[in-house]
Amino acid sequence: MMRQLPTGIEGLDDILCGGLMPVSATLLEGPPGCGKTTLGIQFIVNGIMKGEPGLIITFEQFAQQLYNDAKNFGWNLQEMERQKKLRVICTSPATVRDHLLQSEGIVHSFINRLGIKRVLVDSVSHFRRVTENDSELRELLFSMINAFKQRGITVALTKEMGMKEEPSFEEYVVDAIVNLSYEHVGQSRVRTVEVIKTRGHDHISGKHFFRFESSGIKIFPANTRVYVEDPPEFPALIATGINGLDRMVGGGIIPGSSILLCGPAGTGKTTLSLQSIYNVVTKYNRKAVLFLTGESKESVARIAGGFGWDLQDLQQRGLFRIIENDFTKINIDEYLIQIRNVLQEFKPAIVSVDSLPAVLHTIRDNLGLVTEKIRFLNNLFKAYRCVSFLIVRTPLGSNRISVYGEEEALCDGIMILGSRKVGQTRRRNIEVYKLRNQKHVFGECGMDISKNGIKVFYVGKGGGR
């Protein structure tokens, strides 16, 4: 089997399951301004970094414009040209047709002289300046691609297209198609990339968010399979350190389990997760992470401080991290990749996501996307073997245990926190409603929150369901 050629573009090689096929043609299509040319230049620049000289053929943009745009990403194309690793040719489609396809043509002399391995043609839409006849256009494109392939070159071709367009002849001629577009997600507009077709190798289907960063395009492939080479070693059960609760679940929670921690406001969800984190770190000397989206760092520190849990001390000991994000600005895929990177690098035994609906806020109108992202999040926790508390606030008095109805089925466990009015007082309770692969007490148990934190009133042996 032929070894794939990594594009070097972060995230794209994950989606392409390793990269493009060498000596292939890839169409980068999308509406104006979506990043086709940048992606193409990045493909060329990454090739040059690996010792594969490149050629950029532009039919519309001045080389000067490309030089300036590339500088924004730290790519000095002029210097690469001086070093004879790159050639940027401003030309017209007719010239390419008349000269490129000739074996002794001038373009070929550049290819031979520089030892070109990667080519970007920006854009093939301009071939319509030569002819409007589709079969002639197809023939022209086919000949050009073959002229490159015969010289062992991998070529990327950009193509302009509207947001909704029927497949065109270009799509049949190339080996791979990468579609770039804009999407409305909630109130914001985001860029997405989708691999439509690959010949000779697999790819991960679906749309993935991407962003322009200072070093080029970065794709956040949050629909990919999660595979961890070196998963952290933890005991068979991770105890929360809240005695009554641990007894309810048979001693602790299986590593990798995601627990939906739900209940109305003021029932102790944040406190329970903080106490578990504090205990896991201080009693068992294991690492923990708190992903904050709804709550602020200050308010959480205040809650913890009220119980005498010094979160700053845990952070200073290098055993605890707080990752805070503004939920109104979260790009879900970017956020999930941020979580993945933290799990990969820090390897915590327990994490808390406070809160899950805030994480999903920007995609709340798309139930399919919500399901997909929760599944990916759970896969992440499973792959890195950490116990996760996903906090969900439910309306007081409702029978709901989640916001979307999907979380309940996707998570491994559900713990419901509540309170009931008895006479003039209100009594707290906790119920382990579901816990996959673990025996647990069925039904409510009393709970109290005092100056020492949460106390669960369960004195039995555990087990029952």
Binding site for another protein (CB under 8 A): 62-64, 81, 87-92, 94-95, 98-99, 106-107
The nearer residue to another protein, 63 or 226, going by C-beta atoms, is: 63
The nearer residue to another protein, 91 or 299, going by C-beta atoms, is: 91
Provide the residue type at 21 as one letter: M
The nearer residue to another protein, 106 or 163, going by C-beta atoms, is: 106
> What distance lies between CA 93 and its chain's CA centroid?
38
What does the alpha-carbon distance between residue 149 and residue 145 come to, in Å, rounded to a whole number? 6
What does the alpha-carbon distance between residue 400 and residue 395 come to, in Å, rounded to a whole number? 8
CB of 103 to another protein, least distance (A): 15
The nearer residue to another protein, 49 or 106, going by C-beta atoms, is: 106
CB of 387 to another protein, least distance (A): 58
CB of 173 to another protein, least distance (A): 24
Token reading at 283: 């009693």
Residue 140: CA count within 13 A, CB half-sphere: 21
What does the alpha-carbon distance between residue 28 and residue 118 come to, in Å, rounded to a whole number? 14
What does the alpha-carbon distance between residue 45 and residue 75 come to, in Å, rounded to a whole number? 7
Counts of helices then strands in the chain (DSSP H, E): 16, 18
* CB count in 10 Å sphere of residue 352: 28
Sheet-wide strand order for 387-393: 320-324, 288-292, 350-354, 387-393, 258-263, 413-422, 425-435, 444-450, 453-457
CB of 162 to another protein, least distance (A): 25
Confirm if 310 and 291 have CB atoms less than 8 A apart.
Answer: no
* CB count in 10 Å sphere of residue 235: 13
What does the alpha-carbon distance between residue 453 and residue 243 come to, in Å, rounded to a whole number? 12
The nearer residue to another protein, 77 or 217, going by C-beta atoms, is: 77
The nearer residue to another protein, 130 or 301, going by C-beta atoms, is: 130
The nearer residue to another protein, 102 or 188, going by C-beta atoms, is: 102
CB of 90 to another protein, least distance (A): 4
The nearer residue to another protein, 94 or 367, going by C-beta atoms, is: 94
Confirm if 339 and 380 have CB atoms less than 8 A apart.
Answer: yes
| CA-to-CA dists, residue 105 to 78, 145, 147, 183, 288, angstroms | 24, 15, 11, 43, 63
CB of 89 to another protein, least distance (A): 5
CB of 319 to another protein, least distance (A): 56
CB of 201 to another protein, least distance (A): 33
CB of 42 to another protein, least distance (A): 19
Confirm if 238 and 255 have CB atoms less than 8 A apart.
Answer: yes
The nearer residue to another protein, 151 or 197, going by C-beta atoms, is: 151
The nearer residue to another protein, 89 or 374, going by C-beta atoms, is: 89
User: What is the DSSP secondary-structure string of 302-346?
Assistant: HHHHHTT--HHHHHHTTSEEEEE--GGG--HHHHHHHHHHHHHHH
Residue 100: CA count within 13 A, CB half-sphere: 25
CB of 174 to another protein, least distance (A): 24
